[in-house]
Amino acid sequence: MNLFDRFRAKFHGGIQPVEWKETANCPIQRLALSEQYILPMKQHIGQECVPLVAVGDRVLRGQKVARSQAYVHAPIHAPTSGIVRKIADNPIPHPSGLGMLSLFIEADGLDEEKKMPCLADYRNIDPVLIREQVRMAGITGLGGAGFPAFIKHRRDDEFPVHTVILNGVECEPWLTNDHRLMLEHGQQIVEGLDILMHVVGAKKGIIAIESNKPDAALNIQQCIADFSQDMEVRILPTRYPQGGEKQLIQVVTGKEVPAGKLPLHIGVLCQNIGTVKSIYDAVVLGKSLTERVVTISGPQTPRRGNSLVRIGTDLSFILSQHGLTDLSEVKVIHGGPMMGELLPNLHVPAVKSTTGLLAWHTAEFEKSHEQPDPCIHCGHCVQVCPVKLVPNELASHCKHDDTERAQAYHLFDCIECGCCSYVCPSHIPLVQHFRYAKGMVAQQAREQKFSEESRQRSEAHLQRIEKEKEARAARRAKVLAKQKALEEK
Amino acid sequence: MIVDVLIAAVVVACMALVIAGVLAYASKKFHVEGDPLVESVNDLLPQTQCGQCSFPGCRPYATAVVKGEAEVNQCVPGGDRTMKKIADLMGVEASQMDAEDLGPRLAVIREDECIGCTLCIKACPVDAIVGAAKQFHTVIADQCTGCDLCVEPCPVDCIDMVEPPKQLAQWSWRAVRPNKTRQKRGGKVET
Ligand code: SF4
Ligand code: SF4
Ligand code: SF4
């Protein structure tokens, strides 16, 4: 990196949390097959899927078992061969502990696979077909957000994409799955980048890696050297939350994605490392998304490491494979420690967005929580906020349920990165206030909509009654008139 | 001199005529049904149509509030938030709510006991019950406002008011409560 780069590479705020990336030395290991897999019908942002199979059907690994009619969705595939045993509601890895319709597949141990056609010669294939293959493979953003990947792969004449950025930042503490992928599957990742560049017609590919992963950067650099002239590795100073899409794009291109706009609008496509590896698997090998790398770590996990996990595997099974069998005194976070969520129930399946499972002892976990004190207006939170909010002001509006003012303070620009909570000397759970307020705004909108609909229904009801009354009165008048006529005769 | 005055008077009279015509036309053409203030108050109400305000529905209550015949704190399902908004709109002091709202409710018909008398259909203010005479009836859960009005008329008491089932799409984070909330460095919150 030259001096110029060093000055350019910066986004506002950010922190440097302790890394805890000890699993970076643990090679990815394939997890043993489990007996049962549970597939929730929505593992992506968008419309919920509906099952395509019935109870009793035999399915093969990679077979599409659920999809939706909506544009924004990702189909779901069976993770192994077996029989569909049940279609019922089941909890998902979510802080609420609530669930949704899920498919229960009993594995038959044969692990027979059904593949899509391989498009190995992708450079000579129509980008539209490749995009369709990525869509059919059910690939979502594996960095945690879960946005269906194919949607971003559109060639748009109005906003042509000139640069594809691969997000190898992995700035969350503890997580190392992208790191391991870059070390062990560098070649596939570089080819995946080439596929993306072909699909969107980009001239340039950049793989962004933080300076705490020099081995990964070196490996990717070597892979690029004998592959393409149009790619480069960009080593970035280590800083959280650099892996946020907008933060990363700003650091790499020097351009800010305007609020309310997409990376596409400044000619950039940004995709996570794990996602690109699955795109390679789908396009070159014809494999649907049925497995992903998960970091299993945290102080309470005896054998920490990275596992290649089939989607739908029970989390308690995964933890037990890593030596954690007694789950009575542990708290597990789904995702990274900064943005992940505490799970109230561990008998839930791994989903496409499961990046990590981090286990703490309950007592330890509670000790590291502290009672909040009043805000001392030190301004630390303002300094670290990557989207330049004023978290202390914002939180006080949220606390008083003043959603209007909170929105005027750009509540919805908050990316919930947790930097403000991390640095607050008064231990105020700032992000929690923001999550609550966002939920409240959504709920108020739902209530508003419902009351508007109820008003219309009630008005229709009253009108109908009015009409019925009139009709009855008219009928009666008619009868009376007839009677009168008869009497007169 | 006199002529000048006359001309001026005639011109002004003509203008007045034209403007009167335009105004008359406009008032016909842009006529708003009802009192706009009533509409604004009605828009703030939750439209549960439950009658807990002692009026036969939300619009009658809104009308009464605007006429000054009702207090602003009578809508129970609307709660504090709605009361404050109405008070704000009417320019009166916000006051205390009389009764506590039980939270959202949903009517459920025990279908095997239903005799198909259609009395509940007639009672429902938002037409959220379906069914025909002598056949069992059922409540459209997505449209039920939880107003309770169908329970009373049922001759065999087969309608229950229940808490609506929790749904993922409707879930949101709880408020941060001091003392009960503990926070780890890194934003993990456990309540
Ligand atoms: S960091 Fe905490 S104490 Fe300091 S201003 Fe922000 S909220 Fe207040
Ligand atoms: S959680 Fe939101 S307010 Fe806090 S630092 Fe991150 S973006 Fe800013
Ligand atoms: S109490 Fe509220 S919701 Fe019920 S009818 Fe009266 S105004 Fe409508």
pLDDT band at B184 (very low <50, low <70, confident <90, very high): very low
pLDDT of A9 higher than 80: no
Across A142-170, average pLDDT? 92
pLDDT in tens, A395-431: 999 999 899 999 999 999 999 999 999 999 999 999 9
As given in the structure block, the two tokens for residue A29 are: 């290991």
pLDDT of residue B176: 78
Whole-number Å distance, alpha carbon B92 to ligand 3 midpoint, is: 19
B143 reaches A (C-beta below 8 A): yes
A126 reaches B (C-beta below 8 A): no
Sign of the dihedral defined by the CA atoms of residues A445, A451, A455, A460, in that order? positive
pTM for the full predicted model:
0.85
As given in the structure block, the two tokens for residue A479 are: 């009868």
pLDDT of residue A237: 94
Structural contact between residues A14 and A250, judged by C-beta atoms closer than 8 angstroms? no
Count of CB atoms within 10 A of residue B81's CB? Answer: 13
Query: Considering chain B, what is the average pLDDT of its residues?
Result: 84
Count of CB atoms within 10 A of residue B74's CB? Answer: 19
Do B183 and A370 make contact, defined as CB atoms within 8 angstroms?
Answer: yes
pLDDT of A467 higher than 50: yes
Quick one: closest CA in B to A398, which residue?
A: B175
As given in the structure block, the two tokens for residue A343 are: 């799970």
Higher pLDDT: A25 or B188? It is A25
pLDDT of residue B135: 84
Domains of chain B: residue spans and CATH: 36-90 (1.10.15.40), 105-167 (3.30.70.20)
d(CA B137, CA A440): 34
pLDDT of B188 higher than 80: no
pLDDT of residue A3: 46
**Best of B33, B39, B172, B179 to disrupt the A interface by mutation (most A CBs within 10 Å)?**
B172
Across A78-107, average pLDDT? 96
Do B126 and A451 make contact, defined as CB atoms within 8 angstroms?
Answer: no
Higher pLDDT: B184 or A88? It is A88
Chain B residues 60-99 with a CB less than 8 Å from chain A:
none
As given in the structure block, the two tokens for residue A248 are: 């990363």
pLDDT of residue B33: 63
pLDDT of B179 higher than 60: no
pLDDT band at B190 (very low <50, low <70, confident <90, very high): very low
Q: Is A385 in the pocket of ligand 2 (CB under 6 A)?
A: yes
d(CA B44, CA B85): 7
d(CA A152, CA A159): 12
pLDDT of residue B191: 36
With a pLDDT cut of 90, the percent of chain A lying above it is 89
Across B71-94, average pLDDT? 88
List phi, psi (to 5°) of A200. -95, -5
pLDDT of residue A2: 47
Query: Considering chain A, what is the average pLDDT of its residues?
Result: 93
pLDDT of A346 higher than 80: yes
Quick one: DSSP state of residue A81? Answer: S
**Best of B49, B183, B191 to disrupt the A interface by mutation (most A CBs within 10 Å)?**
B183
pLDDT band at B182 (very low <50, low <70, confident <90, very high): very low
For residue A428, which residues of chain B lie inside 8 Å, CB to CB?
A: 183
pLDDT in tens, B91-115: 888 888 877 777 888 999 998 899 9
pLDDT of residue B125: 92
pLDDT of A44 higher than 50: yes
Quick one: DSSP state of residue A374? Answer: -
pLDDT of residue B172: 87
Distance from CA of A92 to the nearest CA of B (A): 10
Taking phi over 0 as left and psi of -120 to 50 as alpha, with beta for the rest, A174 belongs to left
Structural contact between residues B182 and A366, judged by C-beta atoms closer than 8 angstroms? yes
Nearest to A338 by CA among A273, A419, A436: A419
Place of tokens 């995946």: A192
Separation of CA A1 from chain center: 31
Q: Which residues line ligand 1 (CB under 6 A)?
A: A 375-381, 391-392, 423-426, 428
pLDDT of residue A278: 97
Ligand 2: which of A390, A398, A410, A415 to mutate, most ligand atoms within 8 Å of CB?
A: A415
Nearest to A47 by CA among A68, A24, A61, A75: A68
pLDDT of B37 higher than 70: yes
Q: Specify the ligand 2 atom closest to the Cα of A413.
A: 7
pLDDT of residue A222: 94
d(CA A381, CA A422): 8
Which residue of B48, B174, B182 is in closest CB contact with A370? B182
Across A231-248, average pLDDT? 94
A311 reaches B (C-beta below 8 A): no
Do A443 and B172 make contact, defined as CB atoms within 8 angstroms?
Answer: yes
DSSP for A242-253 reads TTSHHHHHHHHH
pLDDT in tens, B154-167: 999 999 999 988 88
pLDDT in tens, B6-34: 888 888 888 988 888 888 887 777 766 67
pLDDT in tens, A201-217: 999 999 999 999 999 99
Structural contact between residues A430 and A381, judged by C-beta atoms closer than 8 angstroms? yes
pLDDT of A84 higher than 50: yes
* Closest Cα to atom 4 of ligand 2: A420
Q: What CA–CA distances, in Å, run from A200 to A45, A258, A276?
A: 22, 21, 14
Structural contact between residues A247 and A275, judged by C-beta atoms closer than 8 angstroms? no
Q: What's the angle, vertex CA A115, arms to CA A111 and CA A120, rounded to 5?
A: 130
